[in-house]
Amino acid sequence: MNRFPLTGFSLIELLITLAIVAILAVITVPSFSGLVAKSRRSDAMAALLEVQLAQERWRALNFSYAPALAALGWRSTASPDGYYRLRITGADDHSFQVTARPVGSQQSDPCGVFAVGEQGPEYGGAFADEVCWRR
């Protein structure tokens, strides 16, 4: 009777492999999460710039900026992909400010709230800085 030698992985080899996989996961998962949050920022930027253009169209016809998103034709306060909530925080004859506050999983993004006004993006203070706007 011919017996074939048993081949396979030893317990030590299996544990070393699992340890290597665990180390790689610890390194890559936070990096991947940061890249996902970074890519979702474009949702806020695009929505804010769209509102800015709508505000300028509104002002061309009404001599003041719109006080609410509904007046601009926005049916929802959510950004197109839903990662941010939009809100007009101030609007008068000469200026306006629109903010995009992160919601859901995007709340952990260190950039926080994005804002735009009649002059364009608003940086620093309570709002995202220039680095966040550059993605």
Over the stretch 19-41, which tens digit does the pLDDT of each residue have? 999 998 888 777 777 788 888 89
Counts for the chain of helices (H) and strands (E), in that order? 2, 4
What element of type H or E holds 91?
Answer: strand 84-91
Binned at pLDDT 50, 70 and 90, residue 109 comes out as confident
Q: Tokens 């506050």 sit at which residue? A: 101
The predicted pLDDT at position 51 comes to: 94
The predicted pLDDT at position 50 comes to: 94
Q: State mean pLDDT over 81-85.
A: 93
Indicate the range of 5-14, 18-27, 35-44, 117-126 predicted with least confidence. Answer: 5-14
CA distance 122 to 88: 14
Handedness of CA 95, 118, 130, 86 (dihedral sign): positive
Percent of the chain surpassing pLDDT 90 = 50
**pTM reported for the whole predicted model:** 0.76
Q: Which amino acid is at 134?
A: R
Best CA proximity match to 79, nearest among 53, 112, 45, 107: 45
CA distance 122 to 103: 20
The predicted pLDDT at position 19 comes to: 93
Residue pair 98/45 in contact (Cβ under 8 Å)? The answer is no
The predicted pLDDT at position 135 comes to: 66
The predicted pLDDT at position 1 comes to: 59
Q: State mean pLDDT over 84-104.
A: 93
Summary mean pLDDT of the chain: 89
